[in-house]
A = this chain, B = another copy of it.
Amino acid sequence: MASVLELGSRVKEASRLLGIANSEQKNRALAAIAEALWERREEIVEANAADIAAGREAGLREGLIDRLTLNESRIAGICDAVRELIRAEDPVGIIESGSVRPNGLRIEKVRVPLGAVGIIFESRPNVTVDGAVLCLKSGNAVLLRGGKEAIRSNKALVAIMREAAESCGLPADCIVLVEDTSRESANEMMKLSGILDVLIPRGGAGLIQAVVKNSSVPVIETGVGNCHIYIERTADAQMAEAITVNAKTSRVSVCNAAESLLIDEECAPSLLPQIAKALFDKGVTLCGCEKSRALVPQMEPATEEDYATEFLDYRMSVRVVPDITEAIAHIGKFGTGHSEAIVTRDYAAAEKFLNEVDAAAVYVNASTRFTDGGEFGFGAEIGISTQKLHARGPMGLTALTSSKYRIYGNGQVR
């Protein structure tokens, strides 16, 4: 089996050719990939069935089996997403800015691909296709390292995509799979600085933290969202309830779902029981501070740990706070810098919250669930960055590019 270093070097090499391919070439390859995945769907389903059988044998939970499963309708969805991407704007080559300097030098800043991208992900095989085609569209070659549960599916998907890309004149090595799914292979990827230009972990908090801590390749950190709804004392009662229920329950397993409710002590007596009832009706369990439990006795006591937890489930922590300053301090202590919302009718409170809360997306009177590339109008989404370097918040294709200065002279020296 080729070493991770060899595989990375092949990706790096391919990235030079892919980086100068134009949009037409890349879009033709995307069309060929969508077509090939659909035509060879039986092959994919067969490989996937072997993964599922092995997973069942290994005692995988049904939830994981479900995430692992590829059937005809899911493959159709994947192919639709690839075709959708053809219509997205190619960020490569966009001239962002430019000027002529006093000495006559003309300077242009243009978007260029990052180059060689590594993606480490867990069990969902749709990420294999998604990661590969987002990279291809933005001119990046990609080294994919998925979980062992999906290895047969991933091999089939990558083989089909490589053939399709090659049939359109792109190097097959613009999409390479690390077939070794040991922990060691992930560690090797994290050491490929100078070969990989960026590493993107996609998966749970444990995976992401391991990559952030150990990678010498620059990392784009995505996804962990311990999001809060803060109900300020002037909030409209109906709106506060609607936003809280939506942010908590419209989809509990996603990073932009709310995990914690902060409520001003002035309005808590009148509002908290009503909101708690609405949440209970949706099947949410609540854990809270003493003041909130005095108002809603069905609530469990909350620990510091609860306030720090991204439940991704029908569970929410609650805290009564004396004022907005305390609410902002709580978010500063427990938040993960993802999405935070205030419900208020007070201008100064809205401004203070927007200015002082340090997060990728800060909302006034709207649900945190809107933090999403599609909702923001970005088209394709790579993920939601919770770091401050490079990209923050929902990342469109542009987040997979860098810039380069092109300078036109006629003999200037300094």
Residue of B nearest to A193 (CB): B212
- Residue contact A367 to B412, C-beta cutoff 8 Å: yes
Q: Please indicate the chain B residues that have their CB under 8 angstroms from the CB of A114 in the complex.
A: 388-389
A52 on interface, CB distance cutoff 8 Å: no
Shortest CB distance A373–B (Å): 12
* Shortest beta-carbon distance from A32 to chain B in Å: 24
- Asked whether A16 and B101 contact (CB < 8 A) given A218-B387, A389-B390, the answer is no
- Whole-angstrom distance from the CB of A250 to the nearest CB of chain B? 6
Query: Nearest Cβ in chain B — how far from A380, in angstroms?
Result: 17
Interface size class of A (residues with CB under 8 A): 35 or more
Contact assessment for A356 and B99 in the assembled complex, using a CB-CB cutoff below 8 Å: no
* Beta-carbon contact of B242 and A413 below 8 Å: yes
When distances are taken between beta carbons in the complex, the residues of chain B under 8 Å from A214 are: 216
When the two chains form their complex, are residues B405 and A361 in contact, meaning their CB atoms are under 8 A apart?
A: yes
Q: Does A410 contact B (CB under 8 A)?
A: yes
Contact with B along A387-414 (1 / 0, CB 8 A): 1111011000000001111111111111
A364 CB, nearest partner CB in chain B, Å: 5
Among the listed B101, B216, B370, B406, which residue makes an inter-chain contact with A105, where contact means beta carbons less than 8 Å apart? B370
Closest chain-B Cβ to A224's Cβ sits at a distance in Å of 12
Q: How far is the CA of A212 from the CA of B359 in the complex (A)?
A: 26
Within the oligomer, what is the number of copies of this chain?
Answer: 2
Q: B413, A197: Cβ atoms under 8 Å?
A: no
A235 to chain B, nearest CB (A): 11
A67 CB to nearest B CB, Å: 22
Chain B residue nearest in CB terms to A218: B389
Instruction: Please indicate the chain B residues that have their CB under 8 angstroms from the CB of A334 in the complex.
Output: none
| Option from B213, B354, B403 in Cβ contact (under 8 Å) with A216 | B213
Which residues in window 87-130 of A have CB below 8 A to B? 99, 101, 105, 107, 112, 114-115
State how many angstroms separate the Cβ of A192 from the closest Cβ of chain B: 12
Q: Are A376 and B246 in contact (CB under 8 A)?
A: no
Q: Which of B361, B367, B413 contacts A250 (CB 8 A)?
A: B413
Which residues in window 1-34 of A have CB below 8 A to B? 16, 19-20
> In the complex, which of the residues A243, A355, A364, A402 has the most CB atoms of chain B within 10 Å of its own CB atom?
A402
Q: How many angstroms between the C-alpha atoms of A411 and B246 in the bound complex?
A: 11
Residue of B nearest to A100 (CB): B377
Contact of A388 with B356 in the complex, beta carbons under 8 Å: no
B402 touches A389 (CB 8 A): yes
Q: Across the interface, do A407 and B243 meet the contact criterion of CB distance under 8 Å?
A: no
Q: Is the CB of B363 within 8 A of A409?
A: yes
Judge whether B216 and A212 touch: CB under 8 Å.
Answer: yes
Alpha-carbon distance A246/B413, docked complex (angstroms): 6
CB distance from A122 to the nearest CB of B (A): 21
What 0/1 pattern do residues 332 to 375 of A give for CB contact below 8 A with B? 10000000000000000000001110111111111101110001
Residue A219 is within 8 A (CB to CB) of chain B in the complex: yes
Residues on B with C-beta less than 8 A from A212 are: 193, 216
Within 8 Å of chain B (Cβ to Cβ): is A299? no
**Contact indicator A115/B213 (Cβ below 8 Å):** no
Q: Which of A43-82 contact B (CB under 8 A)?
A: none
Indicate if A231 sits at the interface (CB-CB under 8 A).
no
A411 to B363, alpha carbons, bound, how many Å? 10
A-B pairs, 10 with minimum CB distance: A366-B409, A246-B413, A388-B402, A390-B390, A369-B414, A366-B412, A389-B390, A361-B405, A365-B409, A239-B411
Known: A101-B375, A361-B405, A371-B405. 4 other contacts (CB 8 A): A246-B413, A364-B407, A370-B414, A376-B405
In the complex, 6 of the A-B residue pairs with CB atoms within 8 angstroms, ordered by the A residue number, are: A218-B218, A242-B411, A363-B409, A364-B407, A369-B414, A388-B402
